[in-house]
Amino acid sequence: MNPIRSSFSRLLLFVLCALSAGAACGQDFTNADSLRYVDALQFRMINKAFEPTLETRLPLVLKDSVRPTLWERAQCTSGVAFRFATDSRAVAVRYNLLTNMHMMHMADTGIKGTDLYILDDNGTWQFVNCNRPVRIDSDVRPREDSIQRKVYVDRLDGRMHEYMLYLPLYDGVRWLEIGVDSAATIIPPAVESPRRDKRIVFYGTSILQGGCACRPGMVATSILQRSLDVECINLGFSGEGKMDSCVARAMAAIPDVAAYVLDPVPNCTKNMCDSLTYGFVNTLRTLRPDVPIIMVEGPMYSYAKYNSFYGEYLPQKNEQYHKNFERLIAENPNNLYYVGSNGLWGPDNEGTVDGIHLTDIGFYFYAKKLEPYLRNILEGNIAGPVDTYETQLALSAAEKEREKANNVNNATGDGDAGASSNADVQATPPPVPAAPGTQDAQK
């Protein structure tokens, strides 16, 4: 045999063996279709504020009262999860996606996948596996490949274990079933985790909704839910966190709320931050005066440091947002806190996928930034107003130079010209960054 051909054959055989071994390490030993499936709605649904359905994260009564785009985003199941216990030797999932959408800069496992966690013997939630959603490029609606199935884990020990199953971040679910062995027992959870008596309600934008976590369990609200062991309700709406008054009233009606966390600035213009903040926050304060509210400052996008427009405009939005915080504090200093954006997604610019939406590491740092405030609120340790307004530290050199030039113009009688130039800049804000998404996301 030709020695070159013989060497190539041996190399090819080695590669095939290596690939086969890798596939064996990741294969499912159980056929998903051989399992018994149970409707997940039989079990405890967590991180859900209103009706215990999969249809929407907003009250059903608001369907005809809000913008169609807001209602569409509310159909995404971000943050929602099911709790159950089973002694099955295999645990699987089967569910029907609402749109089976795809985006260019977010993993499908985060958009429309599901995560399984198990409660270990030390009482800590541990990630087990996610499913990799299937999608065939097609214009058919509803999509013919919308039903997903996955055996998360098999060859388990047959003991009763507690599980948590997170739903997709950027898609909805028509129905979801949990798969177990035919003879296995599957029951509501025996362990109350997260606790039922306290909930934290988060309101915000595409970032809060989960753009662009690689899987559902890595969105900040779910990280905090596991860390604090309380339900964390995700009311992040991609491109639609615009401080609608009806949403504030709905949030005020949620029972057992320990704190509200408000993070709407990325979806709002400077004028919206000025005109809407007071009414939105005051609605919550009026209807739930004993519930602490944390106002989160808008982030400085990674490119704002280098982009002269955003370097000025983003701090201006935060300035208006903080101005309303000061007005509210002047009226009532109790139960209102302001958390600045410094380090919100980490110590450097590595926390985002596109300068705006967070990676898993960004969500980790976001959660860690908020956790001490929330933990202290839960334990009753925060006293007096907290204000870590940091926008003034982020003002760009260009903004400072412009302010200096305006002062000189005012001193020399040219103030009208300077004011006119300033007004032109403020009157033409750039489009508010919308959700992570593509044209397919709007279908």
Q: Which of 165, 252, 255, 218 is nearest to 353 (CA)?
A: 218
Count of beta carbons in the 10 Å neighbourhood of residue 5: 9
Rounded to two decimals, what is the model's pTM?
0.83
Give the DSSP H or E segment for 273: helix 270-275
Q: How many helices (H) and strands (E) are present in the chain, helices listed first?
A: 13, 16
**CA within 13 Å, CB half, 6:** 3
Distance, CA of 116 to CA of 118 (rounded, Å): 7
Q: Tens-digit pLDDT profile for the chain (443 aa)?
A: 555 555 545 544 444 444 444 444 455 689 998 999 999 999 999 999 999 999 999 999 999 999 999 999 999 999 999 999 999 999 999 999 999 999 999 999 999 999 999 999 999 999 999 999 998 766 666 566 789 999 999 999 999 999 999 999 999 999 999 999 999 999 999 999 999 999 999 999 999 999 999 999 999 999 999 999 999 999 999 999 999 999 999 999 999 999 999 999 999 999 999 999 999 999 999 999 999 999 999 999 999 989 999 999 999 999 999 999 999 999 999 999 999 999 999 999 899 999 999 999 999 999 999 999 999 999 988 766 677 775 444 344 444 455 555 555 444 333 332 322 222 222 233 333 343 433 333 33
Q: Is residue 166 classed as helix, strand or coil in its secondary structure?
A: strand
Q: Which of 401, 406, 404, 411 is nearest to 422 (CA)?
A: 406
What count of residues does the chain have?
A: 443
Report CA Rg, the chain. Answer: 25
Going by C-beta distance under 8 Å and a sequence separation of 6 or more, which residues neighbour residue 437? Answer: 103, 170, 206, 238, 239
Token duo for residue 258: 């320990």
Give residue 405's pLDDT.
58
Give residue 29's pLDDT.
86
Distance, CA of 105 to CA of 86 (rounded, Å): 36
- SS3 track for 112-165: HCCEEEEECCCCCEEEEEECCCCCCCCCCCCCCCCEEEEEEECCCCCCCEEEEE
**Domains observed in the chain:** 35-193 (2.60.120.260), 195-437 (3.40.50.1110)
∠ CA 107-113-115, nearest 5°, is 115
Give residue 72's pLDDT.
97
Give the DSSP H or E segment for 387: strand 386-387
